[in-house]
């Protein structure tokens, strides 16, 4: 493509709300443009990258035996009512009516549509297994659309759904999808981890997320420094932490006057006791379909509450903060909450089971209880509600756990019969009995990947595209198009590269060299060729975008050397 004819509106201006490199460079490099909050146009360069991501996804899925379909983006509400999700999905689900007052939603995910497609058409175990996917638009009215393509409202997702006669076959497919996803992200040249993920309140089934490692990632992941254990902190486990020495000794269980001391830090200082030996209370309001209630979570003072775990334990739709006022009305003393004598639901972290010699709130202003013993709390609800932290020990091998940040680009999930049962999608098994399909579901954030690749691969000048998804491979920069010798050689090289099947742009704009090299760096083509003054001595310069290393090569060798750089 000739840049003199191309629609690549690069700009020096950083979009107002942009803080992350991918957002800034994709807009400045003319890949995307914003339409409205969380909604973007893909311009020619952006479309090429998106199509490359899409093509890799498709190729690997087709190779694994999946079949591509394309479902309607606009989904009838009835399907969502049938699955029971219509009332539950919340405000991310955009609902609207047509002129005949029929209710629709813009699909944020397509379990319902896919189950509806398959039911009645697949009726026998002989037609199973089946794995159908689409690469299509999704709409989620996200509360905080941000970071450009990373969290849009309208975005492109690959969503796949598999149908099986039994659990065992679903698990086989799940493993196949994990292997396929690994191939997909490896081919894209990304540094990623497959991590154990939260399965939500339903629990039971397995789920893995694929995380592109990047400082800006919104997810925190726990990675073992020795073995292959990796998990989203929302689901991460750990070995029981070792008790620090010395343990405090209390001869009695009694109230202790602690005026104005509320935080674990202050208390630890005051008592000269390690935070580990304190019981910390976190009060939350749990929101359900038709009620809300206060729940008190208790953990060691050295731990923090993991809210997703906590929410799952109490089976709430959401956990929100609760005001001091609300606590007082419920007879709770903020800042001095004890696990004793509470009317509301309480949950204790499993690491507190059987613990003794503790300090906890005194249920009375300015008092704590020392010598608390939780060993007679065995009937209470103990659960894993603590957030795994840096330095905790790996649940698998006991080595140290390290926390890092990731961008979720894929998610595979053993779904079971949740949707097929609710929507009465059944097949006849070998004995002729009707059974709901056992399902798996598999997502990839196709447009998010475009941005994730840049979060992982950029410098202070712009994008550094992995070769597999670069918009073009080579940018031939004509330093001065008025020099006919330069333009002629560049044209020849442009032709020759195209002949070899190399995707190449020719910067033949009537512009100065400065802006051209700046655009090369901003857009991030893997290789640049500078056809400039050196041509008089028979030389051109090759630039490696990643390292910014430049080398002079004889013009006759340029073609060969470029091909080498791309291999």
Residues contributing to the site for ligand ATP (CB under 6 A):
109, 140, 142, 151-152, 155, 157, 408-411, 443, 445, 447-448
Nearer to ligand ATP, 108 or 361 (CB): 108
Which residue has its beta carbon closest to ligand ATP?
445
Give the whole-angstrom CA distance, residue 478 versus residue 486. Answer: 6
Nearest-approach distance from CB 50 to ligand ATP, in angstroms: 12
CB closer to ligand ATP, 46 vs 443 = 443
Instruction: Give the residue with the Cβ less far from ligand ATP, 133 or 276.
Output: 133
The span from the CA of 375 to the CA of 369, in Å, is 15
CA–CA separation, 565 and 567 (whole Å): 6
For 208-236, give the secondary structure using H, E and C: EEEEEECCCCCEEEEEECCCCCEEECCCC
The distance of closest approach from Cβ of residue 117 to ligand ATP in the complex, given in angstroms and rounded to an integer, is: 19
Which SS3 state, helix, strand or coil, does residue 335 take?
coil
Helix axes 558-566, 484-499, angle to 10 degrees: 50
Strands ordered across the beta sheet of 527-531 = 504-507, 474-478, 527-531, 539-544, 550-554
Comparing CB distances to ligand ATP, the nearer of 280 and 418 is 418
| Of 410 and 466, CB closest to ligand ATP | 410
Q: How far is the CB of 161 from ligand ATP (least distance, A)?
A: 12
Residue owning tokens 């399907």: 79
Here the tokens at position 104 are 């629709």
* Beta carbons of 471 and 504 less than 8 angstroms apart: no
Closest distance between ligand ATP and the C-beta of residue 332, in Å? Answer: 32
Q: Smallest gap, in angstroms, from Cβ of residue 394 to ligand ATP? A: 24
From the CB of 42, what's the least distance to ligand ATP, in Å? 13
Least Å from the CB of residue 126 to ligand ATP: 31
Residue linked to tokens 């709901």? 436
Cβ distance to ligand ATP smaller for residue 310 or 543: 310
The CB-of-194 to ligand ATP minimum distance in angstroms stands at 12
Whichever of 452 and 535 has its CB closer to ligand ATP, that residue is 452
What distances in angstroms separate CA 291 from CA 240, 288, 316, 318, one per listed residue? 35, 5, 10, 11
DSSP three-state, residue 381: strand
Question: Is the CB of 234 or the CB of 349 nearer to ligand ATP?
Answer: 234
Q: Are strands 219-224 and 230-232 parallel, antiparallel or unpaired?
A: antiparallel
Q: Is the peptide bond before 469 cis (omega within 30 degrees of 0)?
A: no
What DSSP assignment string belongs to 397-409? T--BEEEEEEEEE
Which residues on neighbouring strands pair with residue 305, listed in sequence order? Answer: 386
């Amino acid at each position: 493509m000739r840049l003199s004819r191309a629609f690549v509106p690069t700009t020096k201006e950083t979009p107002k709300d942009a803080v992350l490199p991918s957002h800034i460079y994709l807009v400045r490099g003319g890949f995307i443009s914003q339409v409205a909050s969380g909604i973007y146009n893909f311009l020619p360069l952006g479309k090429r990258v998106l199509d490359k991501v899409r093509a890799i996804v498709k190729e690997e899925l087709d190779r694994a035996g999946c079949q591509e379909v394309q479902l309607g983006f606009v989904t009838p509400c009835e399907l969502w009512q049938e699955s029971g999700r219509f009332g539950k999905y919340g405000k991310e689900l955009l609902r609207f009516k047509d002129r005949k007052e029929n209710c629709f939603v813009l699909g944020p995910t397509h379990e319902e549509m896919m189950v509806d497609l398959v039911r009645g058409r697949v009726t026998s175990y002989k037609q199973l297994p089946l794995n159908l996917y689409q690469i299509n638009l999704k709409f989620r009215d996200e509360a905080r659309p941000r970071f450009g393509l990373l969290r849009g409202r309208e975005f492109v997702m690959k969503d796949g759904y598999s149908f099986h006669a039994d659990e065992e076959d679903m698990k086989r497919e799940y493993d196949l999808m994990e292997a396929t996803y690994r191939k997909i992200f490896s081919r894209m040249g990304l540094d990623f981890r497959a991590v154990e993920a939260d399965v939500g309140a339903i629990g039971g089934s397995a789920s893995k997320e694929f995380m592109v490692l990047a400082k800006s990632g919104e997810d925190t992941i726990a990675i073992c420094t020795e073995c292959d254990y990796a998990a989203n902190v929302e689901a991460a486990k750990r070995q029981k932490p070792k008790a620090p020495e010395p343990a405090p000794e209390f001869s009695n269980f009694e109230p202790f006057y602690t005026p104005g001391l509320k935080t674990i830090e202050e208390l630890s200082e005051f008592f000269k006791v390690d935070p580990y030996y304190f019981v910390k209370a976190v009060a939350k309001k749990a929101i359900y379909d038709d009620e809300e209630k206060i729940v008190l979570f208790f953990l060691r003072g050295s731990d923090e509450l993991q809210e997703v775990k906590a929410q799952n334990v109490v089976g709430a739709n959401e956990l929100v903060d609760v005001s001091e006022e609300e606590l007082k009305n419920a007879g709770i003393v903020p800042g001095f909450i004890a696990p004793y004598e509470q009317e509301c639901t309480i949950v204790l972290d499993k690491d507190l089971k059987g613990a003794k010699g503790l300090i906890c709130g005194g249920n009375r202003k300015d008092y704590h209880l020392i010598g608390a013993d939780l060993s007679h709390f065995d009937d209470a609800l103990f659960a894993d509600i603590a957030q795994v932290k840096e330095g905790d020990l790996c649940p698998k091998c006991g080595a140290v756990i390290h926390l890092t940040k990731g961008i979720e680009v894929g998610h595979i999930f053993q779904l079971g019969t949740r949707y097929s049962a609710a929507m009465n999608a059944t097949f006849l098994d070998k004995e002729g009995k009707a059974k709901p399909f056992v399902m798996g579901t598999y997502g990839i954030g196709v447009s998010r990947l475009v941005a994730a690749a840049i979060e992982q691969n950029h410098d202070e000048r712009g994008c550094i595209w992995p070769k597999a998804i670069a918009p073009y491979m080579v940018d031939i920069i004509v330093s001065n198009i008025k020099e006919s010798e330069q333009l002629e050689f560049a044209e020849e090289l442009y032709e020759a590269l195209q002949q070899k099947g190399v995707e190449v742009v020719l910067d033949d704009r009537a512009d100065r060299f400065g802006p051209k090299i700046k655009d090369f760096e901003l857009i991030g083509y893997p290789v640049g060729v500078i056809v400039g003054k050196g041509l008089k001595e028979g030389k051109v310069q090759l630039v490696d975008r990643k390292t910014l290393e430049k080398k002079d090569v004889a013009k006759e060798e340029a073609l060969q050397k470029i091909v080498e750089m791309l291999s």
